[in-house]
Chain A
Amino acid sequence: MSSIVETIAMCVERGKVNKTSPYPPDLKGQDGADELTAQALADKVPANDILTKGLMIGMGKVGGKFSRNEVFVPDLLMAAKAMTAAMKHLKPYFESGEAKHRGTFVVGTVQGDLHDIGKNLVSMVMEGGGFEVIDLGVDVSPEKFMKAVEEHPGCAVGLSALLTMTMVNMEKTVKLIKEKCPSTKILVGGAPLTEEFCRKIGADSYSPDPQGALDYLSTVYA
């Protein structure tokens, strides 16, 4: 791997967005993920290498630290911000097909539930993991999830719920998607959920943290 791609990975891991960003303090004044990605493309580094060997490696490292309780959410947010700054340079390469998402991840908070902190964190980590994320928002009906599945063939679906009273809507959503599109992989998460509940409603994977969800999808889309 070229050193510039390694440096991009380091910038994402540490949340160094661009030259003017003051964070992290020890990298102040140095190029960040923004400038380095532009430079790498100018140097003819393949866009897919920047994505898979730079950005995704950086996000994977910070995601792992987050799972091990070594960093807090703001560290993850800064990494995602650095990744976003880099991704804007890669956009034309995605459109031309030179760089490819690993898959599409449709995510939302189930009907009757307005909590979105967990869902947003999962979205961020999935994006960092190379997936195209379709965020349907909160209070999402089973039918709306189903429509998104039909619009994005081959996608995986993430369902979030915080309230015990809305878990029943998670079950309805899983049932509808599995009836109409049985091969769709469905991930569930949220404070009141358990592995047992996940199995009971027929979902494919439960994870208590975002990185676990990414790890699961990485095996599915390997």
Chain B
Amino acid sequence: MRKRPMKSFTTLAIEHEDDLLFGTCPKPVRLTPHIVIGGGQTMPEVNYILPYGSEVSAETLEQVVTLYRTMAAGTLQRALDLGVPALIIEIELVFELTLNPEWGEKVVRATREVMGEFEAKGVHSALRTTVADIRDRVRPPRNRTSAETELMFESFERCAPYSDILSIESTGGKEVNDSALLQCNAGDIVFAMGTLASNDMAFLWRRIVDICGRHGKVAGGDAACGFANTAMQLAHKHMVPTVLAAVVRAVGAARSLVALECGATGPDKDCAYEGPILKAIAGIPISMEGKSAACAHTSPIGNVAMSCCDLWSNESVPYAQLFGGYTPEVSLENLWYDCKLMNQATRSGSALMLRNLLSESDVHTSAEALVLAPASCFRIARAILDEYFALGDSRAAHYTALYAEKFIPAEYGL
């Protein structure tokens, strides 16, 4: 594979914070003639997973594939019933489906087939496949040369033909970050995300972008989920201060930007709450999750997370029956009504007002919400670009200061 030059972002794609809005961005992504993300409308992104207690094995694979087919059909039928014109379905491959790439391919292909059936009925949909980062099954992880690494890339290759968007939540640097988080050691957190994770992402995303290019698919983006959302959940449990979790969120933006430097175009991942910062810098469309993801986890950012989204997601919901139908269908309905509200606000010229209401309803109760307010995101984005050209010097200083004392797997190539 030829090494691509990395892009560099030197100016903000969105020049004024009032232009950091939901449903629109400078670089919308056209997936199909009917689906343009960030082109003026928000749309739902639905993610679901097998029921509690499900087992994925060679023996259960056919049942698993059938269940994925059923979940897709139910979701798309609800879209048809509600008149949802377009939606994104996300399949996050669990470990077993990535460790066995042919299994993951079967699930994704089955989902694509169901989507095709509903396309004929007028429901337009696109598929995001998120491959699991399985590289840290062994500790310390061998991020570049292990069997898991190759299986992961094989999984991308096999799923690409049936997907529209490919994504990952990569975990390079997490082994250092987890320890630093527990110690509330901001210096080591910056090192883990700014140096180790960023370096790993450059390796990873060059290959993912290459795979997407060969298959004519969209390279979505990465999420600092294993870093910043871990911090958010630890803060929620009073294990670390919430202010630290807010700082980790901001640091995560510089890390996730690397995917875009390598050629990813968005839409960014839903659990990448750092998305608005990336949107301000690179102008890409982003997926976000907030109150809509209460089915998956709690958060103090339920409304503010919606304020700049292009896709509005439920994060993930295990398949189960509720009074109102099965969980993916219920999630879609909730997401769709939120999207309708945002789209109506755009049509009536009230988008900025709604964005500010969403933001202001959260920012006074949580540092983590405050760091995601559009004004804060805009300032962080500007700060990242302002520091960009000092990066070379700071990296050199960082290595000198830390390399001798830290365990750094040789595979980071430092």
Contact = CB atoms under 8 A, between A and B. Distances in A.
Interface of A: 69, 72-74, 77, 112, 114, 116-117, 120-121, 137-139, 163-165, 167-168, 171, 191
B55 A73 contact: no
Interface in B231-273: 233-234, 238-241
B350 interface: no
Given A117-B234, A137-B139, A138-B139, A73 B182 contact: yes
B136 interface: yes
A128 to B, nearest CB: 15
Contacts of A164: 49, 52, 318
A171 B136 contact: no
B19 interface: no
B178 interface: yes
Contacts of B54: 165, 168
Given A165-B94, A168-B55, A73 B137 contact: no
Contacts of B49: 164-165
A171 B183 contact: no
Contacts, number: 52
Interface of B: 49-50, 52-56, 94-96, 136-137, 139, 178, 181-184, 230, 233-234, 238-241, 318
A168 B60 CA distance: 13
A11 B160 CA distance: 57
Residue in A74, A116, A137, A167 whose Cβ sees the most chain B Cβ within 10 Å:
A74
A119 to B, nearest CB: 11
Contact of A117 (B55, B96, B230): B230
Nearest to B174: A114
9 contacts: A73-B239, A77-B182, A112-B95, A112-B96, A117-B230, A120-B182, A165-B49, A167-B52, A168-B53
A165 B50 contact: yes
A121 B234 CA distance: 12
Contacts of A112: 95-96
B183 A74 contact: yes
A165 B56 CA distance: 9
A168 B57 CA distance: 12
Contacts of A120: 182
B52 A73 contact: no
A69 B136 CA distance: 31
Given A117-B178, A138-B139, A72 B56 contact: no
